[in-house]
Amino acid sequence: MSAVQCHGLNKAFGRGTGLTPVLTDASASVDYGECVALLGPSGSGKSTLLNIVGLIETADSGDLKFDGTSVNDLSVTARTQWRREQVGFIFQQFNLIPVMSVFDNVAFPLMLLNRSPKDIHQTVMTLLDQVGLSAFAHSRPEALSGGQRQRVAIARALVKQPRLLIADEPTASLDADTALTVIRLIRELVHEHQTACLIATHDYRLVPFCDRVLEVDDGHLVATSELSRQSMLSPEVVL
C-alpha cells in the first residue's frame, strides 16, 4: 500500500468568473522509502500540490489518502493532528529559530509533542550525528554555513519520524556542490528511515538522486518515463 495516494485533485484560486486553475485532475502516489521529485517551473502548481498533500491547504475536489484512509473523512482537528505528528517539512528558507541552539531547533517538534527529555536528547543527537552536525549541537544557526543550516532543517523535519517528508525547493538557496550534497543526504535518510518523500524543484540536476520523477505542466501532473528522465541529464550531471 502506498503511503500517499492522490486521485483527481483540483485546485483553483479566485472567485466567480475570475477563477484561475492551479491543479487539474492531479493523480499520483508515493511509497514508503521512496524519494519522488516533483519538477516544474515557478507557478506550475508544485507548491500548491505540496501544500495539499502536506495538509496545509485543501483541494477543491478529488481524493487524498494516507495509508488508504481518505483525508476527506477526517475532521479539521484530526487533519491538524496528522500534520503535526506525521508530516515533516523542509523549505527553501531554512526557517531556523536564531535564538535557539542547533540542538533546540531540531528538538522543537518533539517538545511540542511532549516527548520526555531523555527521548528528545537521544533522538536529536542520533539525527545530528547522521547529518554530520553533532559537534555543532550547542551552536547558533548564525555560526553555520547555508548547507549546514539546511542539514539542521533536514534533521528537524525527520526528528519526529514522520511518515511523509515534504521538501519545497530545498536546494534553491544553495550553491551547486552543496545542493547535491543536501539532496544525497535527503535520499539517504529517506531510504534509511523508510519515509515517503516528495521534493518540489525546478533544478533538473537533482533528478538522478531521486527514485522517481513527476512533472507539473500548467497544473497537470505527468509521470516521467525512464527514457525522458535520462534525456534531462547531461553527462557532467550524472555523478
Residue 225 lies in a domain: yes
Q: Which pLDDT band, with edges at 50, 70 and 90, does 1 fall under?
A: low
For 94, the domain range is 4-231
Residue 156 lies in a domain: yes
pLDDT-above-90 percentage for the chain? 67
Residue 238 lies in a domain: no
Residue 239 inside a domain? The answer is no
Whether 236 is covered by a domain: the verdict is no
Domain membership flag for residue 118: yes
128: enclosing H helix or E strand: helix 117-130
Mean pLDDT score, 57-72: 92
Q: Are 210 and 37 in contact (CB under 8 A)?
A: yes
Q: Give the per-residue pLDDT at 72.
A: 85
- At 186 the pLDDT is 93
- Domain membership of residue 103 (yes or no) is yes
Q: To the nearest whole percent, how much of the chain has pLDDT over 70?
A: 93
Phi/psi region, residue 55 (left: phi>0; alpha: psi -120 to 50; beta: rest), is left
Tens-place pLDDT, residues 27-45:
999 999 999 999 988 888 8
In angstroms, the CA 7 to CA 63 distance is 5
The residue-averaged pLDDT of 64-77 equals 89
Q: List, edge to edge, every strand of the sheet that includes 220-223.
A: 87-90, 164-168, 196-201, 35-39, 212-217, 220-223
d(CA 205, CA 232): 8
Higher-scoring residue by pLDDT: 227, 20: 20
Q: What is the reported pLDDT for 44?
A: 85
Determine how β-strand 212-217 pairs with β-strand 35-39. Answer: parallel
Q: pLDDT tens digits, residue range 136-147?
A: 999 999 999 999
Tens digit of each residue's pLDDT (9 = 90 or more) over 107-132:
999 999 999 999 999 999 999 999 99
Pair 49, 38: CB distance under 8 Å = yes
For residue 237, the model assigns a pLDDT of: 39
CB atoms within 10 A of CB 56: 15
- Count: domains in the chain: 1
Of 157 and 205, the structure prediction assigns the larger pLDDT to 157
Which DSSP category does 101 fall into? -
Which value, to the nearest 10 degrees, does the dihedral of the CA atoms of residues 145, 149, 154, 158 take?
Answer: 130
| pLDDT at residue 103 in the model | 98
Rounded mean pLDDT, 87-112: 94
CATH number of the structural domain spanning residue 227: 3.40.50.300
pLDDT of residue 14: 86
Helices 146-158 and 176-193, axial angle in degrees (round to 10) = 20
Q: Is the pLDDT of residue 238 over 60?
A: no
pLDDT band at 206 (very low <50, low <70, confident <90, very high): confident
Residue 237 lies in a domain: no
Nearest to 79 by CA among 65, 60, 97, 100: 65
